[in-house]
A and B are shown apart, each in its own frame.
Chain A
Amino acid sequence: MVEIRDHLRHELAALLATIDSIAVPCVSPTARYAYTPASEKFRQHIEELWRKTQTYLENFPPTDEEIDKTEEDYQSPPEELQEIKYGWKELHPYITPVIQADTLHQPTSLLDSLTNRFRQIDEFRDTVFTVFHTEKFNYLHLFPNEIARVTDKLGKLVRAKPFPPLGLIGVPSSQSSSLFLNCLIAHEMAHYAASRRKFRTFILGEAQTSLQLQGDKCPSGDRFSVLSYRLAQWAEELFCDL
């Protein structure tokens, strides 16, 4: 039993060290840089999530649950620790890039202008967008529903606040001052709207109907599901271009 406890302690120490190293850019950002309110909101949320995760892991396993302390249960790290690690692993690619995108390294005026325009849509009056730098030569949006849900659930697990309502948009790090190319940010904002309004679920029915109209050429079984899903994904891309 002592060996099992040592093993768990070792796993917890390793996980705490990993999470500390992931969160450190948000916990102690360089004071000489200024951030947009959206980036600051993101930074504060990550800092709070880090503190709550630390407290939770320091008191792991929770005493208010029936934890089976059988040897089998601890042969590999409990699932919960894996999920906490994976949750932080998913946040990892975006933490440093958000901190690097201070107000001098992002198209602040253009972003403000596009955000003001976006907020004219009724249900998005409070939406803000955080920009992060990506090493890829392409613009991308970070699945707001997916990452928010994962972060929310991770937050519930460690008793932290829910993820604030913000979109996360990646711009190539070399193009932070390029006006015309940065107009692609509008396309990524549309992905945010599509995701919040569950556009893909809605368009999927249309995609299935279109495939069925192909008659004999219409695929069947799993292939039908996969193809209709792919068609709906491309419809979303077209929607975001409009």
Chain B
Amino acid sequence: MVEAMEHSSERLHYLSLALDARLAIKALRQTLPSETTAAELRESVRAALDSLKAASRGGAVYAGLGDLEPYENFEQIYMLQEVASSVDSTSLMQQLQGLLETGKATPEAKTTALKFFAEVERRALHYYSDPSLSEQSG
């Protein structure tokens, strides 16, 4: 039972991450460069940035994590590390930091953030559909 529960829980964690990324993408698409970004988008960016900073500090995957929803479970932060290692994470963090501090989505920051959240969504959906995590395949 624990095994089955664990797999269901992991799948939900990935789906939650994918949905969060989709909401961030939608909010980014609706934001014009002159507008202040929506509070929910800022929360998504803040959670991603804090988690990226925690992950870039090294150490155990879970170290330094707390209330950083949606990146608070093992598989979520592990996947974030994967995404961070596939891009220039220093530049990514700078762009996200800028977006957060100014509250404005410059074209460059918007493109970087869109690429980041699209990659988070793509990987989260991939892992959600992974048959090895499925409770009952077939």
Question: Which residues of chain A have a CB within 8 Å of any CB of chain B?
Answer: 62, 64-66, 79-80, 82-83, 86-87, 90, 136, 138, 140, 143, 146-147, 149-150, 153-154, 156-157, 198, 201, 204, 208, 222, 224-226, 228-229, 233-234, 237
Q: Considering the complex, which residues of chain B in the window 5-22 have a beta carbon less than 8 Å from any beta carbon of chain A?
A: 5-6, 8-9, 11-13, 15-16, 18-20, 22
Asked if residues B60 and A225 are in contact (CB atoms below 8 Å), the reply is yes
Q: How far is the CA of A241 from the CA of B21 in the complex (A)?
A: 37
* Number of inter-chain CB pairs below 8 Å: 82
Partner of B19, one of A87, A204, A229: A87
Q: Decide: A225 and B74 in contact? CB cutoff 8 A.
A: yes
A230 to B125, CA, bound (A): 24
Q: Decide yes or no whether B66 CB sits under 8 A from chain A.
A: yes
Q: Is B1 part of the contact surface with A, judged by Cβ < 8 Å?
A: yes
Q: Once bound together, how far apart are the Cα atoms of A71 and B61, in whole Å?
A: 39
Q: Are A156 and B23 in contact (CB under 8 A)?
A: yes
Number of residues on chain B facing chain A (CB within 8 A): 34
Q: Which of B1, B2, B18 contacts A83 (CB 8 A)?
A: B18
B residues in contact (CB < 8 Å) with A:
1-2, 5-6, 8-9, 11-13, 15-16, 18-20, 22-23, 26, 29-30, 60-62, 65-67, 69-70, 72, 74, 78, 121-122, 125, 128
Q: Give bound CA distance, A87 to B13, whole Å.
A: 12
Is chain A's interface secondary structure helix, strand, loop, or mixed overall? helix
A83 touches B15 (CB 8 A): yes
The reply to whether A146 and B1 contact each other, CB–CB distance below 8 Å, is no
Q: Is the CB of A153 within 8 A of B16?
A: yes
Partner of B60, one of A80, A90, A208, A237: A208
Which residue of chain A has its CB nearest to the CB of B40? A156
Question: Are B125 and A82 in touch, CB under 8 angstroms?
Answer: yes
Q: Are A140 and B1 in contact (CB under 8 A)?
A: yes
Task: Select which of B15, B74, B121 is within 8 A of A150 by beta carbon.
Answer: B15
- Given A140-B1, A229-B74, the answer on whether A79 and B125 have CB atoms closer than 8 Å is yes
* Chain A residues whose C-beta falls within 8 Å of the C-beta of B16 in the assembled complex: 146, 149-150, 153
Given A153-B20, A208-B60, answer yes or no on A83-B12 (Cβ-Cβ < 8 Å). Answer: no
Contact pick for B62, options A79, A83, A143, A204, CB 8 Å: A204
Considering the complex, give the chain A residue whose CB is closest to the CB of B6.
A233
Known: A82-B125, A83-B18, A153-B19. A90 touches B62 (CB 8 A): no
**Does the CB pair B19–A201 fall under 8 Å?**
no
Smallest beta-carbon distance B93→chain A, Å: 23
Task: Report whether B12 and A146 are in contact in the complex, using a CB–CB cutoff of 8 Å.
Answer: yes
B74 touches A157 (CB 8 A): no
Given A208-B62, A225-B60, is A150 in contact with B1 using a C-beta cutoff of 8 Å?
A: no
**A233-B11 in contact given A79-B122, A150-B19, A225-B74 (Cβ < 8 Å):** no
Q: A79-B122, A83-B22, A237-B2 are in contact. Are A146 and B13 (CB under 8 A)?
A: yes
For the complex, what is the distance from the CA of A65 to the CA of B26, rounded to whole Å?
Answer: 7
Given A79-B22, A79-B122, A233-B2, is A86 in contact with B15 using a C-beta cutoff of 8 Å? yes
Residue contact A143 to B12, C-beta cutoff 8 Å: yes
